[in-house]
Amino acid sequence: MSDEKIDSVISENRVKLHVFEPSQRKIWTVVGKEKEYWLDPEADFCSCASYYFGKMEGKGDCYHLKSVRLAQKENKAEIIKFSDDEFVDFIASLAMDF
Ligand SMILES: [Zn+2]
């Protein structure tokens, strides 16, 4: 897994931080080639298949998680604001993608 992959995710603004107001609830996603992945960097979770299988095989984090961590550190995520009313619909639309 190359760092260029992570760099391109960052430089193409594919790390999104969805902030729900007024609760300040945060949802991280990374836009991949075919779908958008849902991540929780605090819980060390990504919804992609390579994360799932990587964990089972004892490999490290997927490049989505690494990208989110880097974006957090360097303040490079694209921040998108929502209202709390939209939270349920937002989660439902992400869940449908899995
Ligand atoms: Zn992933």
The model's pTM is 0.87
Judged on CB neighbours under 10 Å (0-12, 13-18, 19+), 2 is exposed
Closest CA to 91 of 44, 26, 45: 26
Residues in contact with 54: Cβ distance below 8 Å, sequence separation at least 6, in sequence order: 60, 61, 62
CA–centroid distance, 88 to ligand 1, in Å, is: 22
CA–centroid distance, 66 to ligand 1, in Å, is: 9
* Local confidence band at 93 (pLDDT 50, 70, 90 cut-offs): confident
How do the domains of the chain map onto residue ranges? 3-97
pLDDT tens-place string over residues 4-59 = 999 999 999 999 999 999 999 999 999 988 889 999 999 999 999 988 888 778 88
Closest CA to 71 of 37, 36, 30: 30
Quickly tell me which residue has 């937002």 as its tokens.
Answer: 90
CA–centroid distance, 32 to ligand 1, in Å, is: 9
